[in-house]
Structure 1
Amino acid sequence: MQKNFRPSPNSFKNTFCIFNEVLIDEINGLKIQFESKAGSAYYYTEEGMYRQSNHWGRLANSKWRLIALDPETDSKYKIGFAKWTSFFPDNNGDRLYYIEADLLNNTVTYQHKNNSAYDNKAILRTTFETTKRIKQIRNLQQLTSWAKYFDYDDIQELRTQIINELIFTQKTLEDIKREI
């Protein structure tokens, strides 16, 4: 029997959170405790929140990301779960985010500094700075036209060097390219 648990209202406003996709079995027997105008359903437990939705990412004044069980699935509605301890404060002015790049799979994302995996090596940035750097990294990952100006045999090695500089230093992309 589910208790009528109510989270703190601050769990939703100006937060960053990563939800992990779960199967529908996990919400069987739970009662919807809130339904948004956009059609998302919320189920609260003492441990955390289940959210069933067809949209993830930037939500009003929060950034909620879903790690899908199968990113290739066609299902639009997904159910995610996050512990209450996974909700971190978010705002545009503070340096709250660091960047992670997967150089093998050519992906890049951002994480919150309160994430237990943060090792204090990547530079913390504001939301705007993080977004700008991610865009630069994605261009480096997806395009090759930028490399024609360099005398380099191994484009992947060059790409890795530039991306690491973007993540671990305050140098601008222009300064990094100039130094190479």
Structure 2
Amino acid sequence: MKKYNAGNFFKHTYCEWTEVPLTAIAQKTPNYKSEKGSCYFFSEVGIFRYANHWGRVANCRWKLISDRKANQGFCVGYASWSSFFPNDEKENNYVISVNFLLKEVTFKHYASLKDSDACRRNANDTAKRIVEIKKVLLADDWYKYITHPDQEEVRRYLINGLVNTNKSLLELKRNFLSSQ
């Protein structure tokens, strides 16, 4: 596994940053400031980033894990050097996860997970699959011609199939209906 540090963390990486209070960098001087205004503070074990933009950052995918719903405005994120993973858009690096209770769907880098049996996809396929999952998770149009009495059972079956297989939504619907 590649080791990341202050000299290479910004080159095609995936990372989940944890939001920390502004006081974490209050007495520090940035080691680097980007053209977009982001400030980076390096340490031996990790990095602080003060920025107002997350997600796709140049050739990286950096997610800010925060309790706030909207990540607008400047905030501070922290990541240990071991939290960075290679980000190649064409490689099958991404795994989708769904929280049925909160009705949320997200993706993670497979190397950041303990479960290596999950269905892995490239960035483009992951984004397309998340759109399909959201249609089933957040709306009811897909249920229009299904006569099964338990809509939530069908929803869970379809979403689990979309997450764990490469079958299409139509194929999963057919499989479910034929098993009844």
TM-score, normalised via structure 2 length: 0.90
Q: Which residue identity lines up with residue 177 of structure 1 in the other structure? A: K
Contact 2:6 2:42 in 1 (8 A): no
Q: Which residue identity lines up with residue 94 of structure 1 in the other structure? A: E
Identity of aligned residues (%): 35
What is the aligned counterpart of 1:137 among 119, 126, 133?
133
Unaligned runs of 5+ in 1: 1-6
Distance, in Å, in 1 between the alignment partners of 2:110 and 2:70 is 30
Match of 1:31 in 2: 29
CA separation of 1:129 and 1:46: change in aligned 2, threshold 3 A = same
Q: How far off is 1:73 after superposition? A: 6.9
Contact 2:53 2:72 in 1 (8 A): no
Distance, in Å, in 1 between the alignment partners of 2:75 and 2:135 is 29
What is the aligned counterpart of 1:166 among 151, 162, 166?
162
TM-score, normalised via structure 1 length: 0.90
Contact 1:18 1:82 in 2 (8 A): yes
Q: Which residue identity lines up with residue 107 of structure 1 in the other structure? A: E
Residues 62-119 of structure 1, C-alpha deviations (whole Å, 9 max, x = no match)? 0000011x3147862110000001000011221111111001110011111111x331
Aligned length: 172
Unaligned runs of 5+ in 2: none
Contact 2:45 2:81 in 1 (8 A): yes
Contact 1:121 1:168 in 2 (8 A): no
Q: CA RMSD in A?
A: 1.5
Residues 120-177 of structure 1, C-alpha deviations (whole Å, 9 max, x = no match)? 2320111111111111111111111111111122222211110101111121222112
